[in-house]
Amino acid sequence: MKEAILVLIKLQGIDIQIKDIDHKLHTAPKALDGIKKRLSQAKQELALKKERLEGREKEKKGAEWELEDCEAKTRKSQQRIMEIKTNKEYQALLAEIEELKALVSQWEERILELMEEIDSIKRDITESESKVKELEKHQASEQRRLEHSLKELGEKLTVLKQQREEVAKNLPKDLLERYDFIYRRRNGNAIVAVNDDGVCEGCHMRIPPQQYNELLRMDRLMFCSTCQRIIYWKGLIKETTEVK
């Protein structure tokens, strides 16, 4: 039975590694989620800035058209001065010209404001484009690293599964099935040591003294009465190592 216990310990060691690799294979791709999210946000921000730029450029064109219209009306009104015959008409035309000049000034001021805003948005867009490119570069780099890591893990997993097959051949079918059943139920911890104080290291409960004495003999397979895991005397590993 001592040999079977040692095989079970070795098998569980392999199973723990397999479980760890399986977990990494399932969770590793999520490492890119943060980068993908930041890249998506950066692209959305860039799109909004470009949309804003387009809106301001359209507004600027509209303001330039209004300015040209006001300037044309001002010139036309100024040309009419020589045609005025009465003082009343003259004063009315002067008021109209002043109003048009005020509008020209307002549109010129608005165009300058829009030009400054457009320049600022363009600078923001340049920065955002650089940020997007940097994130795309980072994502591509992380993707390559991830693919390399997944390939290595996959290769290691294949080797471990082959090793498990070889080790499992050394166990009776019923014992292997029982081990597998406990392993699944106890979250990858089917066989555990009992220390010199008679405490099960799986559930941390003390086993009965009589059972502990029987455990030291290692002449049959034993289970913890509390957690139902397969148990063995902890000194077995040390003893086996010293013999080697």
157 and 210 housed in the same domain: no
Report in angstroms the alpha-carbon separations of 197 from 125, 202, 205, 206, 239: 70, 14, 10, 8, 17
User: Is pTM, for the whole model, over 0.95?
Assistant: no
CA atoms within 13 A on the CB side of 230: 26
Q: Are residues 149 and 59 in the same domain?
A: yes
For 129-188, the pLDDT digits (tens) are 999 999 999 999 999 999 999 999 999 999 999 999 999 999 999 999 999 999 999 988
Residue type, 196: D
**Chain segment 94-105, per-residue pLDDT in tens:** 999 999 999 999
Choose the final residue of a domain: 139, 167, 195: 167
CB crowding 123-139: b at 16 or more within 10 Å, else e: ebbeebeebbeebeeee
- For residue 239, the one-letter residue type is E
Residue 244, SS3?
A: coil
Closest CA to 2 of 232, 174, 229: 232
CB 168 within 8 A of CB 11: yes
Domain count, the chain: 2
How many C-beta atoms lie closer than 10 Å to residue 158's C-beta? 10
> Is 8 among the domain residues?
no
Q: Do residues 88 and 145 both lie within one domain?
A: yes
Nearest to 194 by CA among 213, 169, 172: 213
User: How long, in residues, is the chain?
Assistant: 244
Same domain assignment for residues 68 and 180 = no
Q: Does residue 233 sit within a domain?
A: yes
Looking at the chain, the whole-number percentage of residues with pLDDT higher than 70 is 97
